[in-house]
Amino acid sequence: MVELQIEKTCGRARAGVLNTVHGQVPTPVFMPVGTAGTVKSVTPEQIKACGSRIVLANTYHLMLRPGADVVGALGGLHRLMAWDGPILTDSGGYQVFSLAEMRKLTPEGVTFRSHIDGSSVLLTPESCMDIQSALGSDIIMQLDECPPGQAPREQVLSAVERSAAWAARCKQAWQRNEEKNTESASRVEEAFEPVPHSLERLCHRQSLFGIQQGGVHVDLRAESARRIVELDLPGYAIGGLSVGEGHEPMVAVLDHIDEQLPKGKPRYLMGVGEPRDILAAVLRGVDMFDCVLPTRNARNGQAFTWTGRLKLRNAIHARETLPLDETCPCYTCRNFSRGALRHYFMASEMLGPTLLTIHNLAFFAQFMAVIRQAIFEGDLESKSASWLDAMYRQESEA
């Protein structure tokens, strides 16, 4: 079972350790996204070298391809990914938002039209738990409804009610699976020593996180939190943000999180990776983050640095001998110039996206590490202001 040990606070910000069967994770933490069981363009060894300790995969995509039964037959998601650290699997709730034109919602669940072959696939709270159980991830997410950022109040209220009802059903299915897995694990451990890789996923317990919805409506957020917190789950996520509502409305929602969610359990802000959003959330008591931003932007030639973003395709970098960031210890910055990186992108060489992904993942790991250190030193708020000024000065001037 995943547990959060809080070691230091600075205002509402928390620094701690997330204890899992697959290792400890210092918090606050950013999780690279490996949607289909891989973080695009980089190996597990490279991810670790960047400083990442936990990764995320997606239930919906793995359900469609290769299928949960195939992942299970291959020994579970850890074996498939060749990743021995913790894994969190999203539930498919985000696809309710992102694939709105390809799905139908009912009280039973959500029916998707597969983006792969057009077939109809029903995902229910119960099947969502069964799939994630077969995947063998450490942290599993409830199935929820994620409405758009500009959705009318009536739609958001419906999402709150549906997500709360689905959370209760997810808890029942999760507990049933945990009981079955405990019985199976006992038989496996009696029969095998050591436990074979193909069966090891049965021998550790998963942790279910509930998801708060409510859009930008503080009262609906409070009601959603009340209904999922009363289920007494191992952790809680803040969903339905970074879906078009903007930075200031997001911060207004986060202002109330510390009073809505338990202080002794992990808090996970889903799908948020903009550095200013991460800082605002940490200052308000959030522990965990994920986003495709660092990897997707890397594949498009954009590097994150402490002094702003670099667009490597710009001609200004063609003869530049400096690394992306002279203070960055990552493999890319130790070995490649901006000019070399630009050449790889202009020549459509695969190495370019790989090198930029390595750097961006390393930047986000470093970013979380210095945030954590500032919490221990008690000056996160003042340092945040200087970091943001340096990172976003060019955008402000523009």
The residue-averaged pLDDT of 162-168 equals: 98
Q: pLDDT tens digit string along 268-289? A: 999 999 999 999 999 999 999 9
Question: 90 catalytic, yes or no?
Answer: yes
Q: What percent of the chain has pLDDT over 90?
A: 89
Tokens of 373: 């250190």
Selected catalytic residue, list 138, 144, 277, 290: 290
Q: pLDDT tens digit string along 172-190? A: 999 999 999 887 666 555 5
Selected catalytic residue, list 90, 138, 144, 277: 90
Q: What is the pLDDT of residue 279?
A: 98
Could you check whether the bond before residue 249 is cis, i.e. omega within 30 degrees of 0? Answer: no
Cα 66 from Cα 69, distance rounded (Å): 8
Would you list the DSSP string of 75-121? T-HHHHHT--S-EEEE-SHHHHHHTGGGEEE-SS-EEEE-TTT--EE
Cα 44 from Cα 81, distance rounded (Å): 8
E strands, the chain, where?
A: 3-10, 13-20, 23-27, 29-31, 55-58, 87-90, 103-105, 110-113, 120-123, 139-141, 207-212, 235-238, 267-269, 288-290, 302-305, 308-311
Element (H, E) at 150: none
Tokens of 158: 């419906």
Question: 138 catalytic, yes or no?
Answer: no
The residues facing 24 across adjacent strands are 19
Domain architecture of the chain: domains with CATH: 54-291 (3.20.20.105), 298-390 (no CATH)
**How many other CB atoms sit within 10 Å of the CB of residue 201?**
23
The residue-averaged pLDDT of 15-30 equals: 98
| Cα atoms in the 13 Å half-sphere on the side-chain side of 2 | 29
Question: Tokens 């495709």, residue?
Answer: 292
Q: What is the pLDDT of residue 395?
A: 75
**How many other CB atoms sit within 10 Å of the CB of residue 314?**
12
Burial degree of 111 (CB within 10 A; 0-12, 13-18, 19+): middle
